[in-house]
A and B are shown apart, each in its own frame.
Chain A
Amino acid sequence: DVKVTQSSRYLVKRTGEKVFLECVQDMDHENMFWYRQDPGLGLRLIYFSYDVKMKEKGDIPEGYSVSREKKERFSLILESASTNQTSMYLCASSPQGISYEQYFGPGTRLTVT
């Protein structure tokens, strides 16, 4: 079974703090993704990575950065958290060349106060 794990289920941070969200997958997938999920807006892609140290911007990269130093791990970084970044963050992975199925983690509910 493919397993995508996220470091925290719930996180509360203060405005201006630096926030790290970690994602680990155990299926040797090349592709990894970070989405945010908001009511009425669906899933919006923040960043994705198709290889170690490679990254591509998605639809809403502003205010976020990512890091992929190892194949199995993809980190989302909020350099200076703001209240409008309060959301559910979902990580996903997929194998290269067969990226039609993305496997999602359970999500991290981030609240910025």
Chain B
Amino acid sequence: QQQVKQSPQSLIVQKGGISIINCAYENTAFDYFPWYQQFPGKGPALLIAIRPDVSEKKEGRFTISFNKSAKQFSLHIMDSQPGDSATYFCAASKWAANQFYFGTGTSLTVIP
């Protein structure tokens, strides 16, 4: 059973556009929501993360929006660049717990 549901599976965006990836979870005990970015041939790397005490977190062109009541969170990439082309995974866990539950991943392609 998938603990975290992620959509879309793939996304194509024009350079300069906004990329939006959505995730939903069921377990209300989750209180840490990271996003990982994976380039071809590399392992995933932490991109940005949020805890549910805030509804939004921004780091440069990357923003996480969090809706606790809907149990949904999303990643927005503003002014998308070809270098952003990668696979993005959302995840959820209990804070300081060892086990993350990852989404199924979104393959993002940014067209020049």
Residues of A at the B interface (CB closer than 8 Å) are 4, 31, 33, 35, 40-45, 48, 50, 56, 58, 90, 92, 94, 97-107
A–B Cβ pairs within 8 angstroms, 10 of them: A31-B98, A41-B104, A43-B100, A45-B100, A98-B96, A99-B93, A99-B97, A101-B34, A101-B46, A106-B43
Interface residues on B, range: 20 to 34
CB contact under 8 A between A92 and B43, given known A42-B103, A45-B99: yes
Q: A42-B6, A106-B42 are in contact. Are A100 and B104 (CB under 8 A)?
A: no
**B104 / chain A contacts, CB cutoff of 8 Å:** 40-42
With A41-B104, A104-B45, A106-B42 given, is the CB distance from A99 to B98 under 8 Å? yes
Contact of A43 among B32, B42, B102 (CB under 8 A): B102
Q: Can you name the residue of chain A whose Cβ is closest to the Cβ of B104? A: A42
User: Could you count the A-B residue pairs with CB atoms below 8 Å apart for me: how many are there?
Assistant: 57
- Chain B, residues 81-99, CB within 8 Å of chain A (1/0): the string is 0000000010001011111
- B residues near A97, Cβ cutoff 8 Å: 96
Whole-angstrom distance between the alpha carbons of A8 and B89 in the complex? 24
Pick the contact of A100 from B42, B44, B49 — CB < 8 Å? B49
Q: Does B9 contact A (CB under 8 A)?
A: yes
Contact in complex: A40, B9 (CB < 8 Å):
yes
**Nearest opposing residue in chain B for A90, CB measure:** B43
Cβ distance B42 to chain A, nearest Cβ, rounded Å = 6
